[in-house]
Amino acid sequence: MQFPLQVLVWNEGQHEKRNKTVQQIYPHGICAPLVESLRAQGYAHTQMVTLDDPDQGLSEATLAQTDVLVWWGHVAHDQVRDEFVDRVQRRVLEGMGLVVLHSGHHAKIFRRLMGTTCSLRWREDGLHERLWVVDPGHPIADGLPPYFEIPQDEMYGEHFDIPTPDAVVLISWFAGGEVFRSGCCFHRGRGKIFYFRPGHETFPVYYQKEVQQVIANGVRWAAPGKGPAFVYSGGETLHAAALEPYQAG
């Protein structure tokens, strides 16, 4: 099945320059396997941009034609210009979907949309992770087993400082004993946001088929809906004329 969505994968693209382990695991970029997987699963119009592209890959024209933005960042959150964060926020409120991966929990755009620190506990020990589907009826759970395991990954643990999600689809258990809300859904304006935890850069997590399936499902869920027209007011209140005749006072 082909999906006529324009998907933009934003990959920070910095680890690949300086870390030989990352270069060996992801020779074409951390998010390259995700781009390939999304295309193979029917999202033929999937492109990847990086921080080093013109306008940091987030030009007005590019975002205007993007249905779902997938975001991976880690060491260069502070380098993303605020004017581009404003652009992405506006597009999300207008209806563009946003899928935030792994360390993108501290991305400017995610923290802006959450309104919290989005901080958590972490440990890089490379032990295994077990992800449980806790909302099997949710579209993001389509095609998944009751649980799946990642052989090696970084640990993220609670408390995860985010607003209460509209839905939690997956939770993680780690070999060290921690648990984490690893698949969280939110609505902002007309837009939908999915946060998915796995994906540390020094482990081949994004080659795993279950991980790729979750991300593809997240893209489909976050795609713009066909509800009533939504007017983005830029944060200003809108004066509304009465729909019915009435006598004031």
Residue from 22, 15, 89 nearest 52 by CA: 15
Question: What value does the mean pLDDT take over residues 29-50?
Answer: 93
DSSP 138-165: SGGGTT--SEEEESS--EEES----PPP
What are the boundaries of each domain within the chain?
7-115+182-222
The residue that leads in pLDDT, 12 or 17, is: 12
Checking if the pLDDT of 237 tops 90, the result is no
CB atoms within 10 A of CB 39: 14
Instruction: Retrieve residue 6's tokens.
Output: 């324009």
pLDDT for 72: 95
**Does residue 195 register a pLDDT over 80?**
yes
* Residue of 238 and 115 predicted with greater confidence: 115
Residue 1's pLDDT band, with cuts at 50, 70 and 90, is low
pLDDT of residue 188: 96
Amino acid 165: pLDDT: 98
What is the pTM assigned to this prediction?
0.94
pLDDT at 133: 98
Per-residue pLDDT for 239 more than 90? Answer: no
pLDDT reported for residue 192: 97
Whether the pLDDT of residue 16 is over 90: the answer is no
Per-residue pLDDT band at 249 (split at 50, 70, 90):
low
In tens, the pLDDT along 159-190 reads 999 999 999 999 999 999 999 999 999 999 99
Do the beta carbons of residue 62 and residue 9 sit within 8 Å?
no
| pLDDT at site 84 | 96
Q: How confident is the model at residue 215 (pLDDT cuts 50, 70, 90)?
A: very high
Average pLDDT, the chain: 93
What confidence tier does 209 reach under pLDDT thresholds 50, 70, 90? very high
Cα dist from 56 to 13, 51, 85, 171, whole Å: 11, 4, 11, 32
CATH of domain 7-115+182-222: 3.40.50.880
